[in-house]
């Protein structure tokens, strides 16, 4: 549970852009005010088509800012001051248009100018039609914004006001509230991993068969990405080496994208020295020895025989380094039976310090799902079984365990 008390006394600048979801921001303002936050609002022209300045002003108990070229507004509070006198800027709803203008660095109205001029953290809650959200232009804009440290909440999937179904619904006010509270709790929380470096692997690997086909697996990257975010939240300087996933880059981490196991190993070695390594990637055990240079064709003598070669074991390679071994090397074990016994054997075989073992047998919903039931197995110590919890929560708890275990000096 996020501590909503973290909101008391915080100053939020809420940018309301055009979209039917704008009505939800009235509820958001009310809830933020209830928890003691001060809310100042910018309402775009599009936003004012959906909610009135009067409603926004009445709930926020503040003047609503609407125009860039307003003599009175500029006299009372210049847009630069408006952008700086906040602890967090929240854009909700964030329309496709405003995200595009933010990504392009435009400054043609009060909202975009303020977002360009601010030196404060920014969080966006996208809301739009599913096709608009999925459009490569929007996805590219969002990726650009994330790479600049903009935090993203949602969108959710479900029925949309336009009658279509899919991803693009703005997160609910209580979810945005929790994300804002989470941001402040994190920012003011202890940073026991400050000054330490962390290496995290995540996602599947893709091993080419020919130029169009590859060997892969069902890993979503959710757990690994959440661990990178959790270590970063505790102050670590994180390098996330990720195979192909649809997961957004976690804010504040350096992300190195790779395709194959061999590329992942090279990227991990390049990221050393590191105080800790957490190998959460589902690395393909085998690759096609020599991938075909051209697309394999059906005609000929039946199906091709694929000659497989074993991939390097990244976890074992990191754990067994003589020089520059991370002080704590954590592996994952995906098992379908005798989970703890198999995981213990894996820990010994690979030479790592801890293994996080999870049951991925059919029906557990762990692969691609939101939750995970894990056992933490230390080299010497009884296994700890954690109750089923969200992957974010598993990540936070693991990060705390790592912080508690890593006493002493950093790896530099
Ligand atoms: N791992 C790795 N490189 C590989 C294979 C696995 O770094 N080539 C890491 C994973 O990131 C994970 C751990 O090793 O942390 C365990 O992976 P898992 O697939 O569960 O085990 P395997 O080594 O494949 O063993 P088995 O197939 O016998 O279960």
Task: For the chain, list the domains and their CATH numbers.
Answer: 4-187 (3.40.50.1950), 192-291+304-405 (3.40.50.10300)
The pLDDT value recorded for residue 366 is: 61
Confirm or reject: Cβ of 352 under 6 Å from ligand 1. no
Q: Which atom of ligand 1 is nearest to the CA of 350?
A: 14
User: For the chain, how are helix, strand and coil distributed in percent, rounded to 5?
Assistant: 35, 25, 40
**Cα 263-269-272 angle, rounded to 5 deg:** 145
The pLDDT value recorded for residue 72 is: 72
Q: How far is the CA of 87 from the centre of ligand 1 (A)?
A: 43
Catalytic residue numbers read 162
Top mutation candidate among 201, 242, 271, 281 for ligand 1, by most atoms within 8 Å of CB: 281
The pLDDT value recorded for residue 75 is: 72
The pLDDT value recorded for residue 277 is: 98
The pLDDT value recorded for residue 389 is: 84
Confirm or reject: Cβ of 283 under 6 Å from ligand 1. yes
Using DSSP, state whether 283 is helix, strand or coil.
Answer: coil
Contact by Cβ (8 Å): 100, 144: no
Distance between CA atoms of residues 358 and 342, nearest Å = 11
Q: How far is the CA of 406 from the centre of ligand 1 (A)?
A: 24
Residue nearest to atom 17 of ligand 1 (CA): 333
Q: How far is the CA of 214 from the centre of ligand 1 (A)?
A: 19
* Token pair listed for 290: 């020599």
Ranges of the chain with pLDDT below 70 = 1-3, 362-369, 408-412
Contact by Cβ (8 Å): 230, 395: yes
Residue nearest to atom 25 of ligand 1 (CA): 346
pTM attached to this predicted model: 0.70
Among residues 270, 319, 311, the alpha carbon closest in space to that of 291 is found at: 311
Phi, psi of 257 (to 5 degrees): -95, 130
Distance between CA atoms of residues 258 and 243, nearest Å = 5
Contact by Cβ (8 Å): 251, 146: yes
Distance between CA atoms of residues 335 and 112, nearest Å = 49
Q: Which atom of ligand 1 is nearest to the CA of 318?
A: 7
Q: How far is the CA of 331 from the centre of ligand 1 (A)?
A: 8
The pLDDT value recorded for residue 364 is: 66
């Amino acid at each position: 549970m996020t501590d909503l008390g973290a909101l008391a006394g915080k100053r939020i600048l809420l940018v309301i852009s055009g979209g039917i979801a704008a009505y939800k921001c009235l509820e958001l303002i009310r809830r933020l005010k209830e928890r003691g936050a001060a809310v100042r609002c910018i309402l775009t022209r599009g936003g004012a088509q959906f909610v009135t300045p009067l409603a926004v002003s009445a709930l926020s108990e503040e003047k609503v800012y609407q125009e860039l070229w307003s003599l009175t507004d500029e006299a009372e509070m210049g847009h630069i001051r408006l952008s700086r006198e906040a602890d967090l800027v929240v854009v909700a709803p964030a329309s496709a248009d405003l995200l595009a203008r933010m990504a392009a660095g435009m400054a043609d109205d009060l909202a975009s100018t303020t977002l360009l001029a601010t030196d404060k953290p920014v969080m966006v809650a996208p809301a739009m039609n599913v096709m608009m959200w999925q459009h490569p232009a929007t996805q590219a804009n969002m990726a650009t914004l994330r790479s600049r440290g903009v935090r993203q909440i949602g969108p959710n999937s479900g029925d949309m006001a336009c009658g279509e179904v899919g991803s693009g619904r703005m997160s609910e006010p209580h979810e945005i509230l929790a994300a804002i509270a989470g941001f402040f709790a994190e920012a003011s929380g202890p940073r026991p991993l400050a000054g330490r470096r962390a290496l995290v692997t995540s996602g599947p690997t893709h091993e080419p068969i020919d130029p169009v086909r590859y060997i892969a697996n069902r890993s979503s990257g959710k757990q690994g990405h959440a661990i990178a975010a959790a270590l970063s939240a505790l102050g670590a300087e994180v390098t996330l080496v990720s195979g192909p996933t649809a997961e957004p880059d976690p804010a504040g981490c350096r992300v190195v994208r790779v395709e194959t196991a061999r590329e992942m190993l090279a990227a991990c070695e390049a990221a050393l020295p590191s105080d800790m390594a957490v190998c959460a990637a589902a690395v393909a055990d085998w690759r096609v020895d020599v991938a075909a240079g051209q697309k394999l064709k059906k005609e000929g003598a039946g199906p091709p025989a694929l000659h497989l070669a074993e991939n390097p074991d990244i976890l074992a390679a990191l754990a067994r380094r003589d020089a520059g071994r991370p002080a704590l090397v954590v592996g994952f074990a995906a098992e379908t039976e005798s989970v703890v016994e198999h995981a213990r054997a894996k820990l010994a075989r690979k030479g790592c310090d801890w293994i996080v073992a999870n049951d991925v047998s059919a029906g557990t919903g762990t692969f691609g799902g939101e939750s995970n039931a894990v056992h933490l197995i230390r080299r010497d110590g009884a296994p700890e079984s954690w109750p089923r919890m969200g992957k974010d929560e598993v990540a936070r708890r693991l990060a705390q365990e790592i912080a508690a275990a890593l006493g002493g000096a950093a790896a530099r």
